[in-house]
Structure 1
Amino acid sequence: MRVHQLTFVALAVAAGLSLTACRIGEDGAAHGGPSSASIPSTAPSASAPSASGDGSSSGGSDRSGGKGSAGTGPDGKGTAAGAGSTENGKAGKCRTDDLEITAIDSTIGGDTDGTVAVRLKNRGGGDCTLSEYAGVDLRTSAGSLSAQRTGEHPGPTVLKKGTAVSFGVTYPLNTTGGSGVRVTGLVVTPPDETKSVTLTWPGAATLPVTDGTGSPIKVGPIGSAGQGG
């Protein structure tokens, strides 16, 4: 009986192990199916979501950057920047080389003083600014005479490209009957410039002799003689 019982127990244990093995095998097979399915579950979590996440992030960044750039023009920011640029790049000073400088006699009959109008024409590539007074010197047989400013302060003048403006130079007429002081040339230095231009003097040939106290030559501010054109 004991032998039969032991045999039966052994058979029962063996059967149990066999069933356990079967279950393990079945579980393994069951896991084997999902195991292959676990690849997609890993791929979507690692590949698909992260790739799409990264892509949408950089894409969003690119798009927002693109909108920012593209929005500048339509929003008027470009115009504002242009306006700011224009303000920062205001018309510079008129340079001697960019000016055509001429002079004519503009004395009116009956005047006690003679007048010469000096004309400055902007022949440069853009607008430029002239500050109130130019430097004026008369070359004479007695030496150089510097003109004194009349004292008005109209402020700077913006000279548009291709336009001109004039200022006046006044001097005493020689009515003494003597030979006076002979004028040989007119030297003009544009405002804020150091380069001068020497012109033929278009006014009266002589000036009266003075006692040497102060200059009898006066220069008006830019725009004081007629209008530019």
Structure 2
Amino acid sequence: MSAKLHRAVRCAAAVLAVIAVGAGATACDSSGPSSSAKAAAPSNAAKDSTSDQAKDSSSNTQGGSQDAAQQSGNGVKKTAEKGSRTDAVNVAATTAEETKRCHTGELRYSWGGPHGGAPDMEADYQQIASIRLTNSGGRTCTLHGFPGVRLISTSGTAWDLHRSSVKPSTITLHPGDDTAMVAMDILPLPSTMKGPKPFRVSTVLLTPPDETTHVTLKWPYGGAILDQSGATRPGTFIDPIVIG
């Protein structure tokens, strides 16, 4: 009995040892993946951070491109909105011409075309209203290009005349010369014609080419012209300075 008892004790001990080893192995196996997951977490966080930075960078780049495109589009739009010039600035004028040009205060202004001609305000076709320019200064000066002309109606409405397609030339005025003319093509509205809107001119604001100050002249011819102040190609417009 004693020998059998000893064998039973040894077998029980062996079983307990096997159980203990198995439990330990199970514990090690269960802790392995957990530790591995914990170690992988910082790596995934780094990837997420890198991904977020890439997204931010991409977003900033796309936003910058969109802003630049929008600004360019606005620039194109603003450029597209500009119409025909109605001022006295002539882009083709050279520095030498600007130095020699006649200034507003050096000129004298009077109505009347060649031989004292005046427009027929009862005509139903285009007429010419001219302003003669005389060099009243003490030096020789030049005129080149289009003047700025603004018509003011009897009701106070302003109309800046568009330029014609006539190519300008340079005119030289010695002291006392009066050979320069401002020619306005106008489309009269006969008093017998009912329906169209009349523009009754009261005064004319005239700015010599490339100058910034104007003179005010009273309209001497009465009558009315056809109101085409909002038209793209009106029948009343301004020609460049000519010799007359």
Q: TM-score, normalised by structure 1?
A: 0.53
1:174 corresponds, among 173, 185, 189, to 189
Structure 1 partner of 2:27: none
Answer yes or no: is the 8 Å Cα contact 2:124–2:187 preserved in 1. no
Answer yes or no: is the 8 Å Cα contact 1:132–1:154 preserved in 2. yes
Letter in 2 for 1:94: C
Letter in 1 for 2:119: T
The CA RMSD over aligned residues, in Å, is 2.8
- 2:111 matches 1:103: yes
2:221 corresponds, among 203, 216, 223, to 203
2:202 corresponds, among 164, 180, 184, to 184
Aligned-residue offset at 1:143? 1.3
Give the aligned length.
138
Aligned-residue offset at 1:163? 0.4
Counterpart CA distance in 2 for 1:186 and 1:211 is 15
Aligned-residue offset at 1:156? 1.7
Residues 94 and 173 of structure 1, relative CA distance in 2, 3 Å threshold: same
- 2:169 matches 1:150: no
Q: TM-score, normalised by structure 2?
A: 0.50
Aligned-residue offset at 1:144? 0.8
Larger Rg: 1
Structure 2 partner of 1:9: none
Answer yes or no: is the 8 Å Cα contact 1:91–1:127 preserved in 2. no
Answer yes or no: is the 8 Å Cα contact 1:95–1:190 preserved in 2. yes
Residues 89 and 193 of structure 1, relative CA distance in 2, 3 Å threshold: closer
Letter in 2 for 1:218: F
Residues 209 and 134 of structure 1, relative CA distance in 2, 3 Å threshold: closer
Counterpart CA distance in 2 for 1:220 and 1:153 is 9
Counterpart CA distance in 2 for 1:219 and 1:90 is 21
**Identity of counterpart residues, as a percentage?**
27
Counterpart CA distance in 2 for 1:174 and 1:157 is 33
Structure 2 partner of 1:117: 130
1:161 corresponds, among 172, 175, 195, to 175
Counterpart CA distance in 1 for 2:229 and 2:99 is 44
Aligned-residue offset at 1:217? 2.4
Structure 1 runs, 4 residues or longer, greater than 3 Å off = 88-91, 108-111
* Structure 2: gaps of 5 or more residues: 1-95
* Structure 1: gaps of 5 or more residues: 1-87
Letter in 2 for 1:171: I
Structure 2 partner of 1:35: none
Counterpart CA distance in 2 for 1:111 and 1:89 is 39
Counterpart CA distance in 1 for 2:226 and 2:217 is 21
Answer yes or no: is the 8 Å Cα contact 1:123–1:161 preserved in 2. yes
Q: Deviations 1:99-147 (Å, cap 9, x if unpaired)?
A: 0012236226867123210111001111101112111110012611111
Counterpart CA distance in 1 for 2:239 and 2:212 is 19
